[in-house]
Amino acid sequence: RQAMKQTLGRDVGIPVATHDYLTNIANLMKSVTVIEESKMASLTNVATRDGLTGLFDQATFKYRLKEELERQVRYGGALSLLMFDLDHFKKLNDTYGHAEGDRVLKGVADVIRSQVRMLDVAARYGGEEFAVILPTVDTAGALLFANRLREAIFKAFESEEYTVSMSGGICTNLETGDKSADELIKVADKGLYKAKEAGRNRIEMAE
C-alpha cells in the first residue's frame, strides 16, 4: 500500500492494495471482479434465500443451526428446533394448481415472518416443509410458539375454499448441548411424523 502510494502520489486504500497483492504479486487470485460492498451484501442475501418464499434455504439453515449450536456451547441456554410441513399440500396443488400452491407457500412464509423474533432463523426446508431455529427457547416456550404459529397459519387462510394447516415436531437441546445439528433435525422430524400419525394439525415431540 505504501509503495503504491509513493508511486501514484495518493493512497489507494487497503482493498485496492490487497487486490493488487493477491492478483499480481502472490498470484493467488485470477479473474477477480470488484463490486460495491452494498451490492455484494445484496447478492449474498439472495444466494442464501429460497427464491419463492424469501426465507433461508436448506443449506443456509443447516449452516446457521450449526452456528447456533456452537454459540450455545459457549454461552449456555436452551435451543429448540421446530420442523413442520403443510397438511395435504399435494392435494391442494392437484386441486387448485401449482400457482395457487405457490401463493399458499408465500403466505405461510409471511405468517412465519410475523411470528418469529429477530434472533430466530426461519427457513424453507424443501417443498412444503419449513424449519425455525429458536435460540434461548426451552421446550415449553417452543411448544407455545409452535402452537401460536399453527393457529396463525390456519387463520390466515380461513377465507379460502380450502383449509391450510400444519403438523410439526419439536426438539430441544438443553444447556449441555447434547445433540448435534443432524440429531436435532432427525428428532424434530420424528415429532413431525408423529403429529401426522396422530391426526395432523398439531405439534408433537418425538421424545
**pLDDT at residue number 204:** 97
- Mean pLDDT calculated for residue range 64-74: 91
How far apart, in whole angstroms, are the C-alpha atoms of residue 95 and residue 138?
39
102, 147 Cβ separation under 8 angstroms: no
8: amino acid identity, one letter: L
pLDDT at 16: 83
Please give the grid coordinates belonging to residue 160: 379460502
**Which among 111, 101, 192 has a CA at the least distance from the CA of 148?**
111
Neighbours of 24 (CB within 10 A): 9
Q: What is the layout of strands, in order, in the sheet containing 166-173?
A: 121-126, 129-135, 79-86, 166-173, 203-205
In this predicted structure, what is the pLDDT of residue 174? 82
| pLDDT at position 43 | 57
Task: Round the average pLDDT of the chain to a whole number and report it.
Answer: 90
Tell me what pLDDT residue 57 has.
94
Is 37 among the residues known to form the active site? no
Q: State residue 65's pLDDT score.
A: 95
129-150 confidence digits (pLDDT tens): 999 999 999 999 999 999 999 9
121 secondary structure, DSSP code: E
Q: Is pTM beyond 0.85 here?
A: no
* pLDDT tens readout for residues 144-179: 999 999 999 999 999 999 999 999 999 999 866 678
**Catalytic pick among 128, 129, 160, 207:** 128
Packing angle, helices 139-156 and 98-115, rounded to 10: 140
3-state secondary structure 172-196: EECCCCCCCHHHHHHHHHHHHHHHH
Question: What was the pLDDT predicted at 44?
Answer: 61
